[in-house]
Amino acid sequence: MRVSARTLSGLALAAIVATVSPTAVAGFDESAALQASQGALGREVRDVEFIGSRGERPRLAALRGQPVVISMIYTNCSSVCPATTRHLAQVVRSAREALGASRFTVLSVGFDPVHDTPQALGAFAREQRIDDPQWLFVSTTPQGVRRLADDTGFWFSGSGGFYEHLTQTTILDARGRIIRQLYGDGFAGPQFIEPLRRAALGAPIVDAPFASLVTRLRLLCTVYDARLGRYRFDYSLALSMLIALTTLLVVLGLVARAWRATSVRAPE
């Protein structure tokens, strides 16, 4: 979903992290940064190799086949990155409940290669109490950071372990294309879960056939309940689909029976 320049201007204050450097803040072009971020929508993100805090060596290309959520952080950040990660943890939990525990992967990527070591990222994850097997805290090379930032439209500037940057959460579909950019640390659950649900429906299913059918039924019948403030499984939709399928099978059976009866009575 693309946004207008007016909307971008309104998002700017929530989306930008101020640093301790007044000079850096004064030189920040918030409109250009947000436009670059929105301009990345629809772009396919190139492969990057990571080193995980638990010793993993995942590649972005190897995660194709299901949606991926990317959150760019730096571990020396004392306020905004932790707050963003904690908020993301809340909506991720809701998405796991709504879509299934293994339907998407989250990557928190350290964009300061000097300080964001696997050990520092592991400590950051523990401080935020993230205990999700499909949420990886990863680092990469300076070239990998630059490639990922360019592809996702993520803007950052600074040095010495302190940065100003867009507070941006990027959602990729199963083919690695950017389908949603979210800003700040207060976006609503449906803004995060709905694009994931649509992306999961379009992702290749590698489960057993029956499990695949059940998974797709669950995704199709998951709706947002504004009264409860969360997603839930709508049994009425599932029942309606079952009734429609049963009716179709009955009609097809009657047509097949009539066709066979006509063929038997047909003169030689």
Q: Whats the size of the chain, residue-wise?
A: 268
Q: CA torsion 122→126→132→133, rounded to 10°?
A: 30
HSE, CB side, 13 Å, CA atoms: give it for residue 73: 33
pLDDT (mean) for 57-75: 96
Q: 199 and 241, same structural domain?
A: no
Give the domain range for residue 174: 5-204
Of the listed ranges 84-98, 184-198, 227-241, the least confidently predicted one is 227-241
Taking the chain, what is the end-to-end CA distance rounded to the nearest angstrom?
Answer: 64
Of the listed ranges 35-39, 156-160, 193-197, the least confidently predicted one is 156-160
Residue 83 domain-assigned?
yes
From CA 245, how far away is CA 222, in angstroms rounded? 19
CATH code (residue 199)? 3.40.30.10
Q: 244 and 129, same structural domain?
A: no
Residue 223 domain-assigned?
no
What is the band of 46 on the pLDDT scale with cuts at 50, 70, 90? very high
> Residue 63 is encoded by which pair of tokens?
């995660």
Tell me the per-residue pLDDT of 94-109, one tens digit each, with 9 for 90 and over. Answer: 999 988 888 999 999 9
Q: 72 and 160, same structural domain?
A: yes
Cross-strand pairs, 105: 68
* Three-state secondary structure call for residue 183: strand
From CA 197, how far away is CA 214, in angstroms rounded? 15
Q: 241 and 114, same structural domain?
A: no
From CA 91, how far away is CA 234, in angstroms rounded? 20
Residue 94 domain-assigned?
yes
Can you say whether the dihedral through the CA atoms of 130, 133, 139, 144 is positive or negative?
Answer: negative
State the pTM of this model.
Answer: 0.70
From CA 101, how far away is CA 105, in angstroms rounded? 10
Q: 245 and 114, same structural domain?
A: no
Residue 49 domain-assigned?
yes
Q: 125 and 184, same structural domain?
A: yes
pLDDT number for residue 244: 64
Q: 255 and 156, same structural domain?
A: no
pLDDT number for residue 241: 56
Residue 224 domain-assigned?
no
Element (H, E) at 180: strand 178-183
Of the listed ranges 12-26, 37-51, 74-88, 186-200, the least confidently predicted one is 12-26
Number of domains in the chain: 2
Q: Could you tell me which of 193, 46, 95 has the C-alpha nearest to residue 182?
A: 193
From CA 82, how far away is CA 140, in angstroms rounded? 20
